[in-house]
Amino acid sequence: FLKKMMDFPYWSYVSMIIKLTMVSIVLFVVVYYIPTILNLDTWNLLITSVIISTIFIVLSYYMFVLTKDDRNMIMGFVKSKIRNA
């Protein structure tokens, strides 16, 4: 009954879950190896990890998870904010 009402393709859902899982695994590996690559004290390591994680999450979701239409919409929004600033 619910499947008839929603009419959401199963493969689209599975594909999105796979993409999100892959991005999460890669992010975990990157953040896990930051302390071994950079010899920083605790606070600098925390700040660096947060900044790198945030940048990596935004870029990877933009590149791998969003559709072309979503990316175009975001770029249009960013360009309009830059022009108005």
Whole-number Cα distances in Å, 63 to 19, 23, 34, 37, 74: 11, 10, 22, 25, 12
Per-residue pLDDT tens for 9-60?
A: 777 778 878 888 888 888 888 878 877 787 778 888 888 888 888 888 888 8
| pLDDT value of residue 72 | 92
| pLDDT value of residue 73 | 92
| pLDDT value of residue 1 | 53
Query: Among positive and negative, which fits the CA dihedral 27, 31, 36, 39?
Result: positive
- C-beta separation of 54 from 83 below 8 A: no
pLDDT at residue 7 above 90? no
- The whole-model pTM stands at 0.58
| pLDDT value of residue 52 | 83
